[in-house]
């Protein structure tokens, strides 16, 4: 069993309230992030999940104030109660890399090819500490050693291209941790890595967190990784929060059709394949293309049961039963007769761990390809009809 999670009531170190990010582009305004809230406490891990383009990276860049100049940011970003969006450039510079640090997906492009890795880690330290080059180098070597780079003193002189993918990601993590930040934001830190290396890096992140009590914001599209390391989860869809709650709320008591769809679509390595994967028809919308109603509506199998409201009224996050602050943005929750239907097909709103995300109705399992039947019976449509553009 994983170590017991800390209680979510602990005071958060990072809080984001009603964050909006809009890009001004030639093609018009792109609302990449459209009102999300999250918080993470020291020693805790918040995972942000969602498919590509859902606004995960933009949210994290917004927290760091790292968005390009064509981005308009609204909302509050509080670090220990301090409003980051109101800081001057110089004040913000002192926060970046010092109190909040970032780890990127692609470590090769995240490192500067022209400088040795030791120099780059030392630079991160010198930017926030008034120390000699020598001291900074010693600190860099210690950090490289800490993240598991063998013969760190020598390897510090090597250049990024001379490292393997996993080792490079360790360097990036060393660079992020060198100032002992309060919050570490990791944007898909293992997506580019093999599973064996991914396991090493996840282990490293967990060790670091235990040792330094860092708050971790982990951005990922891999539900396996999320289940393993997260305490809380935010599921994003088209720039909005579809659902959020504790990791168990999301994996055992998912209340949003999109979360359910993601869980059903994820093949598992630990159990024999019993049935077809459930699928979500179509593909994620581009931001802003759906202006009214629920952004998931065109792909949602439940919308018929809710009716017009899905098209006309934007669903807001409303509390759901669960252990944390479980909330979902779906009109479905307010109509009990449909919740009944939902329960039959896998979501168990009140039950504890026994809710099985992958379970499906017998009807669907027996007739997976007859989509007319599946539509009537099962929540998620099979693949044969996802073709419409």
Ligand X SMILES: Nc1ncnc2c1ncn2[C@@H]1O[C@H](COP(=O)(O)OP(=O)(O)O)[C@@H](O)[C@H]1O
Residues within the interface to ligand X (CB under 6 A) = 23, 25, 30, 32, 50, 52-58, 68, 286-287
Give how many residues touch another protein by CB under 8 A. Answer: 98
- Whole-number Å distance between alpha carbons of 351 and 332: 18
The 3-state secondary structure of 285-344, one letter per residue: CCCCCCCCCCCCHHHCCCHHHHCCHHHHCCCCCEECCCCCCCEECCHHHHCHHHHHHHHH
Q: Tell the smallest beta-carbon distance from residue 366 to ligand X (Å).
A: 36
CA 326 to chain centre: 16
Is residue 57 at the binding interface for Mg ion, with CB under 5 A as the rule? Answer: yes
Residue partners of 77: CB distance under 8 A and separation at least 6 = 14, 15, 16, 17, 19, 62, 63, 83, 84, 85
Based on CB atoms, which residue is closest to another protein, 268 or 314?
268
Based on CB atoms, which residue is closest to another protein, 316 or 351?
351
Based on CB atoms, which residue is closest to ligand X, 40 or 49?
49
**β-pair partners for 237:** 240
Binding mask 125-164 for another protein (x = CB under 8 A): --xx------------------------------x-x--x
Q: Which of residues 1-20 bind Mg ion (CB under 5 A)?
A: none
Based on CB atoms, which residue is closest to ligand SF4, 87 or 265?
265
Based on CB atoms, which residue is closest to ligand X, 210 or 286?
286
Query: What tokens appear for 356 in the block?
Result: 């099985």
- Whole-number Å distance between alpha carbons of 320 and 301: 20
Is residue 36 within 8 A of residue 4, CB to CB? The reply is no
Residue 312, classified by CB atoms within 10 Å of its CB into exposed (0-12), middle (13-18) or buried (19+), is exposed
Closest C-alpha to 173, from 232, 119, 97, 115: 97
The interface partner of residue 25, options being ligand X, ligand SF4, Mg ion, none and the CB cut-off 5 to 8 Å by kind, is: ligand X
The interface partner of residue 310, options being ligand SF4, Mg ion, ligand X, none and the CB cut-off 5 to 8 Å by kind, is: ligand SF4
Query: What tokens appear for 346 in the block?
Result: 């896998």
Q: Tell the smallest beta-carbon distance from residue 375 to ligand X (Å).
A: 29
The interface partner of residue 32, options being Mg ion, ligand X, another protein, none and the CB cut-off 5 to 8 Å by kind, is: ligand X
Is residue 289 at the binding interface for another protein, with CB under 8 A as the rule? Answer: no
Residue partners of 261: CB distance under 8 A and separation at least 6 = 278, 279, 280, 299, 380
Q: Which stretch binds another protein (CB under 8 A): 12-20, 219-227, 306-314, 318-326?
A: 219-227
Is residue 281 at the binding interface for another protein, with CB under 8 A as the rule? Answer: yes
Is residue 199 at the binding interface for another protein, with CB under 8 A as the rule? Answer: yes
Sign of CA dihedral 36, 37, 43, 44: negative
Q: Which of residues 310-349 bind another protein (CB under 8 A)?
A: none
Based on CB atoms, which residue is closest to ligand SF4, 315 or 322?
315
How is 124-141 classified by DSSP, letter by letter?
Answer: HHHTTS---HHHHHHHHH
Query: What tokens appear for 107 in the block?
Result: 């470590």
Is residue 187 within 8 A of residue 218, CB to CB? The reply is no
Q: Which stretch binds another protein (CB under 8 A): 19-27, 75-83, 198-206, 309-317?
A: 198-206
Q: Which of residues 267-326 bind ligand SF4 (CB under 6 A)?
A: 294, 296-297, 300, 302-303, 306, 310, 315
Q: Tell the smallest beta-carbon distance from residue 224 to ligand SF4 (Å).
A: 24
Q: Which of residues 56-115 bind another protein (CB under 8 A)?
A: 61, 64, 66, 89-90, 93-98, 101-102, 104, 106, 109-115
Among 100, 332, 374, 380, binds ligand SF4 (CB under 6 A): 332
Is residue 330 at the binding interface for ligand SF4, with CB under 6 A as the rule? Answer: yes
Which H helix or E strand runs over 32?
strand 28-40
- Positions that interact with Mg ion (CB under 5 A): 57
- Positions that interact with ligand SF4 (CB under 6 A): 257, 294, 296-297, 300, 302-303, 306, 310, 315, 330-332
């Amino acid at each position: 069993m994983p170590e017991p999670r800390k209680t979510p009531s602990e005071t958060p170190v990072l809080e984001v309230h009603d964050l909006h990010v809009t890009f001004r582009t030639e093609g018009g305004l792109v609302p990449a992030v459209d009102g999300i809230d999250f918080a993470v406490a020291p020693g805790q891990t918040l995972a942000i999940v969602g498919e590509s383009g859902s606004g995960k990276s933009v949210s994290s860049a917004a927290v760091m104030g790292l968005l390009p100049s064509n981005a308009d940011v609204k909302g509050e970003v509080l670090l220990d109660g301090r409003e980051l969006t109101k800081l001057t450039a110089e004040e913000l510079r002192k926060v970046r890399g010092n109190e909040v640090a970032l780890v990127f997906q692609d470590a090769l492009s995240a490192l500067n090819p022209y400088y040795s890795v030791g120099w780059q880690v030392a630079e991160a330290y010198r930017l926030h500490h008034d120390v000699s080059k020598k001291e900074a180098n010693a600190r860099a070597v210690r950090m490289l050693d800490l993240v598991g780079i063998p013969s760190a003193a020598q390897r510090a002189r090597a250049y990024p291209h001379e490292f393997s993918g996993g080792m490079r990601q360790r360097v990036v993590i060393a660079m992020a941790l060198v100032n002992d930040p309060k919050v570490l934001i990791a944007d898909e830190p293992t997506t580019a890595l093999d599973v064996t290396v991914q396991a090493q890096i996840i282990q490293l992140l967990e060790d670091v967190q235990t040792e330094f009590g860092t708050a971790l914001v982990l951005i990922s599209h891999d539900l396996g990784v999320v289940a393993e390391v997260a305490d809380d989860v935010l599921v994003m869809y088209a720039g909005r929060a579809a659902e959020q709650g504790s990791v168990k709320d999301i994996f055992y008591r998912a209340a949003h059709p999109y979360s359910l769809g993601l869980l059903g679509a994820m093949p598992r390595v630990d159990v024999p394949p019993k049935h077809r994967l459930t699928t979500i028809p179509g593909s994620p919308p581009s931001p802003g293309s759906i202006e009214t109603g629920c952004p998931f509506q065109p792909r949602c199998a439940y919308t018929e049961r809710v009716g017009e409201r899905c098209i006309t009224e934007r669903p807001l996050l409303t509390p759901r039963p669960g252990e944390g602050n479980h909330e979902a943005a779906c009109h479905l929750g307010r109509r009990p007769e449909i919740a009944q239907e939902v329960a039959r097909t896998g979501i168990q709103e009140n039950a504890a761990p026994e809710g099985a995300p992958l379970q499906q109705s017998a009807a669907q399992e027996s007739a997976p390809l007859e989509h007319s039947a599946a539509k009537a019976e099962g929540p998620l449509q099979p693949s044969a009809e996802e073709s419409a553009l």
